[in-house]
């Protein structure tokens, strides 16, 4: 498979941007949850916003996974040399295990706050 360099870079930008957006959605859910407790009179309205951010966070995870899969097929060269490339790949595997755990835990946490 041959990809244009611009498409590879754009895929990486979308992946990184969407990861930041996912985290921003979780922060928004956390803040809205606190405001609901502080201002019960507007809790129903705030819950609609909270659900909006929850479903956006789910969409963000889908985009992150899709663009991450795209990265798998585009970063295959031994740019840094064989030894360094082995270390980089092992570190990437560890990073993704940690991040997938965070996505799961963060999604569950957001779900509990949104739909309690």
Q: Where are the domains of the chain?
A: 5-114
Paired tokens of 78: 């031994």
Inter-residue contact 71 to 11 (CB < 8 Å) = yes
Digitized pLDDT (tens) for each residue of the chain, 116 residues in all = 566 888 888 999 999 999 999 999 999 999 999 999 999 999 999 999 999 999 999 999 999 999 988 887 776 666 677 788 788 888 888 988 998 999 999 999 999 999 98
DSSP alpha helices (H): ranges in the chain? Answer: 5-38, 43-74, 82-114
| Residue 53 to residue 114: CA distance in whole angstroms | 9
Paired tokens of 96: 């993704």
Inter-residue contact 61 to 106 (CB < 8 Å) = no
Neighbours of 3 (CB within 10 A): 13
| Residue 4 to residue 113: CA distance in whole angstroms | 42
Task: Give the angle subtended at the CA of 43 by the CAs of 41 and 45, to the nearest 5°.
Answer: 105
């Amino acid at each position: 498979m041959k990809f244009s360099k611009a498409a590879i870079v754009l895929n990486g930008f979308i992946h990184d941007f969407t990861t930041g957006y996912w985290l921003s959605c979780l922060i928004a859910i956390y803040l809205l949850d606190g405001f609901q407790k502080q201002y019960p009179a507007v809790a129903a309205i705030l819950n609609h916003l909270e659900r909006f951010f929850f479903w956006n966070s789910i969409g963000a995870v889908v985009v992150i996974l899709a663009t991450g899969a795209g990265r798998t097929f585009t970063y295959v060269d031994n740019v840094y040399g064989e030894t360094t490339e082995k270390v980089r790949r092992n570190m990437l595997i560890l990073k993704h295990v940690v991040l997938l755990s965070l996505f799961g835990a963060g999604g569950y946490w957001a779900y509990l706050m949104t739909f309690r």
